[in-house]
Structure 1
């Protein structure tokens, strides 16, 4: 057990809880005033995704040994990055339980439990840190997801900014979510003789869970943002009014509220 990793996890938990509290003192954009908590929660998630996602990408570029030897090869700061992420997921899970019912948050709570269980293995054993850093590449896609959600809450859909965010979300989902998940799955299959069976089961469960949710999320975004947003020929005798446009925009926001926004 690495006491340094546990200390960083605790500090990270306190820091993200403090950020949640601090955002309550700042004004919320008028367009998102009806859902202040969700706005603050996603802003904190965006900070975490940018911090850990960019950190993981730079870390793997500067220290490729983490990918070559995901079990033992890592610099000391890599463990800090993983611990920061665990602290965030614990803080975010507590924030959701405090502000939402279990029925509303159970999908993300289950997701957070799986992620914390997998990442905590690296902190408690000081092994598999490189593998954990590779998994943090998914946060680059999560950053786009959070930005897209903030635009939805601000009623900026449809707009050029929302279209860019949607396409960036789909591109990073393929590059920084599905590719790392595929790489980790292949690595786990090939190296299962070096990994204890309980960790194989834990890692396999996490990869299957996050992979399935990621594919489903990508399909939802593709359908809602790309396929359904294509212009259609006007229906004879139908005249679009301001009221009908507002109804469609509201439907998009409502539909997206029910879509799982991954924060891993």
Structure 2
């Protein structure tokens, strides 16, 4: 199985690199003209997420044994799906190094290094089911990529952006946090029959991606859902204004204090979000 997996990984790398170059021949929306490379990079990531996320969901539906036996239980095509994903991450890492400085891309390169745990399945032919479960996260990444493309094309705020934001939060909980929790629990329960090196590697990767995912949810919740936040009230004045300048009457001082407290908490959470969330679609 390993030779075929390596062959598919190489073919996937070449295909995604070719897609990067091919998109240079297509027009870029005028609103995203200032960042053509990022637009192309996210479009390629969207293709990968659609392909592998849908493939993982369909595969687990048709072959649930992959979740029942994540080490050995998998059909031959499952390994090929994982190999396609490994090839993409190698291609995207190459694209990042080619078009950005190390200081600009270090966060995404670290993420790709963590995700390289998938290569264990390609090289050994084992843990393929575990890797396929991890590809469910790509269903959430699809929404993240769409959200970022809407931001680049200046479609925020809009109905499409609002729907995408809510879909991103929903899929983040269902297809990112739930699979991460299941994988963490399984790894903990099976640690006695898994090599210690793989337990450490897998546990570290799950912890890092889990923290990034929680920060992602906070960032999107604050920036998209809680966008209209009340501004600080003036003492002795029952009228305040929201951040869009619209007048809001507060006849109850308790209600006003609660609103200001929530505003402070939201601002604090927003400041906690790491700088790398400017490119959160890559998680």
Under a length normalisation based on structure 1, what TM-score does the superposition of the two structures give? Answer: 0.89
Displacement, 1:59? 0.1
Q: Is the 8 A contact 1:144 1:165 kept in 2?
A: yes
1:163 aligns with 2:182: no
Report the secondary structure of 1:73's partner residue.
Answer: coil
2:217 counterpart residue number = 218
- What displacement does 1:262 show? 4.1
1:182 CA displacement: 0.1
Structure with larger RCO (C-alpha < 8 A, sep 6+): 1
For 1:194 and 1:50, locate their aligned partners in 2 and report how far apart those are by CA, in whole Å. Answer: 34
The SS at the match of 2:282 is coil
Once the two structures are TM-superposed, the CA of residue 234 in structure 1 deviates from its matched residue by 4.5
State the Cα distance separating 1:194 from its structure 2 match: 1.1
Taking the aligned partners of 1:120 and 1:131, their CA distance within structure 2 comes to: 12
The Cα of 1:228 is off from its aligned counterpart by 1.7
User: Is residue 147 of structure 2 the alignment partner of residue 128 of structure 1?
Assistant: no
Counterpart CA distance in 2 for 1:114 and 1:257 is: 15
Q: Which residue of 2 aligns with 1:263?
A: 282
Q: Deviations over 1:125-182 (max 9, x none)?
A: 1000000000000000000000000000000000000000000000000000000000
Quote how far apart the aligned CAs of 1:261 are: 1.5
Identify the residue that residue 88 of structure 2 maps to in structure 1.
88
Does 2:97 align with 1:97?
yes
CA separation of 1:258/1:141 partners in 2, compared to 1, >3 Å: closer, same or farther?
A: closer
Contact 1:217/1:259, CA 8 A, preserved across alignment: no
CA RMSD of aligned residues (A): 1.9
Aligned length: 247
Aligned partner of 1:144 in structure 2 is 143
Query: Within 5 A, what are the aligned runs for 1:221-236?
Result: 221-229=220-228, 234=241
Aligned residue in 2 for 1:46: 46
Which residue of structure 2 aligns with residue 61 of structure 1?
61
Partner Cα distance (2:66, 2:276) in 1:
37
Measure how far apart 1:14 and its partner are: 0.1
User: What's 1:187 paired with?
Assistant: 186
SS at match of 1:46: helix
Partner of 1:248: none
Structure 2: runs of 5 or more not aligned: 232-239, 247-273
- Give the superposition deviation at 1:230: 6.0
> Are the counterparts in 2 of residues 72 and 127 from structure 1 also a CA contact under 8 Å?
yes
Distance 2:275 2:33 in 1: 17
Shift of 1:260: 3.6
Distance 1:61 1:138 in 2: 15
Could you say which residue in structure 2 is the equivalent of 1:21? 21
SS in 2 for 1:71: coil
Find the counterpart in structure 2 of residue 196 from structure 1.
195
1:73 paired residue number: 73
Matched residues in 1 for 2:175 and 2:181: separation?
Answer: 10
Partner Cα separation in structure 2 for residue 119 and residue 229 of structure 1? 41
Does structure 2 conserve the Cα–Cα contact (< 8 Å) formed by 1:217 and 1:260?
no
